[in-house]
Chain A
């Protein structure tokens, strides 16, 4: 066996998206020797794909906006299941995090008076999303990447080595965390290029690995989204919450088949785009739920007036939170009023002049032109729901990002709680920065307080290595192909634990997952370890199966509908369920899900809401207390 490559750092950040880079910057500024590990090239993490914007109550466009309003919108969007402390910190700190990006060199679109411009988005009461056309994620990740480089330049000036304090290891996959007596001691993984194994020794690990969407067939997520961080946390003994809540974005491309699922940004609707069915009807007026009746227009005339005069009119129902819009589209298609390829029509061509569309939505124009031969300045787009975001993730302490495992921290999409049952658009990018920074600081403080460093034992490392090479041996016979298993998993999750759920189907899904797990144990790959996508997938499968099981088991237990969890057999929202979290923990080769009480909302935050609104969500005795 060739010599194992070893590195030693103070803080290890797994993931180079918005959350990971912000955490790494913070740890480095706290004086920690910091490493960032990522599966793709530096600057290409999933965050790069975010389009619409980053939510922060700066009040640049409407000065009535402030953190309290943002907090309220976030809680409403999440149907009050959010961890209130996270929602509070997020709303308070997001503006500072956005302004800080400007000091890194970010160039957001501007208002007339030279401030950062803000746009409307679903569920946000005021124009709140800072943006750069429809490529905000690119601006965010590039600014953070350039800040990392700038810190490296400082270190070079001081030490003669760019990487003396902050080093990025790109195209590297972590397969296991290494523990020492229940505490984090490091991480084990392989170079994607050479397949060589590496051990990183570090007393603190920040997980910033993003989401899980690759377990679903129709998804806006890329190959990176195999739930690695979720699975690493589970296997290390941490708990996941809210895993039943998966966001299906209402507007993904539906045609041609090879691009099915690719996102169509919500900005299309924020900027005036409307949804129509095959009869040409703006159907969203038929789907305004009771709890939102006073905020959304029930007729086209008022909805159209809102864009110019939001003070006097209610918002168009196309801008309802994503779960509502996704369900509405689903119902229209089921009722036979869908488009030719099983979606509905999203039209901006009759709503804005062509030049304006080109200016505000350049990358959407480009995407449809290049991939679907559709000119969105002249034709409607065909769209349908696509798996987009997982609200569930590692249960963390809101202030520090610490999980229940000493030394293990999490931030960004891989963490849970902030968004409750449904995330508002734009609240992810801000979440990444607010909690990325906090986790970086939390990890640094933790390391600073240690008296002795944990140790990675040889046995633990040997075990991680055995697991990683298992797919080459195929000793158990059977010889399953990882691509086939992955396709079956995606189909099962899409069909059985998708946007509308039923008990029998989820039962079936859990059985299917058990069977897939059994078959995955015999997965076999060809070739050698050098850049071998088949092998990579075989290792990712283990994570996807574990995380899918969390989603399916939690979804089966929650007998109500709320946010990103819709039960055909339990269509109503139940205030009793709002007080409960479903917590997933690893149990042998399986997952155990238990109910735990939700932390009650602090009273001064509750007072931000009208009593009549709270009645829609809280139980009678909570309202009294």
Chain B
């Protein structure tokens, strides 16, 4: 059943580091995080890794496995050949703190820059009425577990530190879309998506969608519709005025 697996794990801090080789036991049914934990318990007690639920629900254990952005707890060892070396590195877009742990504060900053849900005036709590079909679009985006793998992957910031300032990243552009499509939200979010959150920098490569462990169609269902709304506003003042007057958010 069990076998000795070959692992290469990035170890180091903000001052630098490198890949280290390990040979470690792997058992049937295990995921990469199990093996990282075994390393901690048997060989490297101070190996730093974030995790929490171990069931793909909290989005803590994001890293890159053989160069692919993934959750450590949802990557089964059975997808690798027994003689294959499994390389585990921290997310590349965010500064390393130590080993596999990165500083994801960029994401929390961006979250703060998106104006919050604006509740409908005059509708008391308990009186909200919404149809299932109307909430489903935003519900898809609210499946997000904030693993930040999409932001880690997006080339707009992965290779361009300078864009971080002006670009909210797919996760938070999707948050804007989520609020925009919320049936009862009262704020106008279309212009801001473009002007403050950097929607224009996205060139719909869909790389973010590909890595999303929740299989959210970030590009097709959030980013492209937002771009269409921006375009509608620009080129069609009547639609823009209509939207304004009738709050027709769909």
User: Taking beta carbons and an 8 Å cutoff, which residues of A are in contact with B?
Assistant: 40-44, 46, 48-49, 58, 95-96, 99-100, 102-105, 107, 109-110, 113-115, 117, 132-133, 135, 137-139, 142, 146-147, 149-150, 152-153, 156, 162, 193, 222-224, 255-259, 262-263, 363, 366-367, 370-372, 483, 525-528, 530-535
Contacts and interface: CB of A to CB of B under 8 A. Distances in A.
A256 B53 contact: no
B132 A135 contact: no
Contacts of A370: 56, 74, 76
A102 B125 contact: yes
Most buried by B among A48, A100, A367, A527: A48
Contacts of B57: 48-49, 135, 137-138, 363
B182 A531 contact: no
Interface string B25-39: 001111100100000
Contact of A103 (B52, B125, B131, B138): B125
B179 interface: yes
A117 B131 CA distance: 11
B58 A255 contact: no
Given A44-B52, A149-B111, A527-B45, A256 B98 contact: no
Contact of B76 (A115, A371, A525): A371
B30 A256 contact: yes
Contacts of A224: 52
A104 B125 CA distance: 10
A142 to B, nearest CB: 7
B139 interface: yes
Nearest to A152: B112
A107 B31 contact: no
B242 interface: no
B180 to A, nearest CB: 12
Interface string B96-134: 011101001000100110011101000001101111100
Contacts of B204: none
23 contacts: A44-B58, A49-B57, A105-B117, A105-B119, A107-B130, A107-B142, A109-B135, A113-B129, A133-B139, A147-B116, A149-B112, A153-B112, A162-B112, A256-B28, A256-B30, A257-B27, A259-B29, A262-B55, A483-B41, A531-B48, A532-B48, A533-B49, A535-B46
A157 to B, nearest CB: 10
Nearest to B47: A533
Contacts, number: 164
B249 interface: no
A156 B112 CA distance: 10
Given A99-B126, A102-B125, A533 B48 contact: yes
Given A152-B112, A153-B116, A262-B54, 20 more contacts: A46-B52, A49-B53, A49-B55, A95-B126, A135-B57, A138-B57, A139-B142, A193-B101, A222-B53, A256-B30, A257-B28, A258-B27, A262-B55, A363-B57, A370-B76, A526-B45, A530-B13, A531-B98, A532-B46, A534-B46
Nearest to B128: A102
Given A49-B53, A258-B31, A532-B46, A42 B58 contact: no
B152 interface: no
Contacts of A104: 117
Given A153-B115, A371-B74, A258 B29 contact: yes
Contact of A43 (B76, B128, B143, B146): B146
Contacts of B125: 96, 99-100, 102-103
A527 B143 contact: no
A256 B52 CA distance: 19
Given A41-B60, A49-B55, A255 B29 contact: yes
B92 to A, nearest CB: 19
Q: Point out which of B29, B49, B59, B138 has the most chain A C-beta atoms below 10 A from its C-beta.
A: B29
B119 A525 contact: no
A167 to B, nearest CB: 12
Contacts of A263: 55
A367 B57 CA distance: 10
Nearest to B175: A146
Nearest to A154: B116
A527 to B, nearest CB: 4
A95 B58 CA distance: 26
Contacts of A58: 126
Given A49-B55, A95-B126, A530-B98, A258 B34 contact: yes
Contacts of B182: 105, 107
B145 interface: yes
B22 interface: no
A256 B130 contact: no
Contacts of B247: none
A110 B130 CA distance: 7
A153 B113 CA distance: 8
A110 B54 contact: no
Contact of B46 (A150, A152, A262, A533): A533
Nearest to B53: A49
A592 B237 CA distance: 75
B195 interface: no
Contacts of A96: 125-126
A272 to B, nearest CB: 20
B167 to A, nearest CB: 19
A315 B117 CA distance: 40
Interface centre among A113, A135, A525 (most CB of B within 10 A): A135
A573 B146 CA distance: 46
Nearest to B138: A107
B59 A42 contact: no
Contacts of A527: 45-46
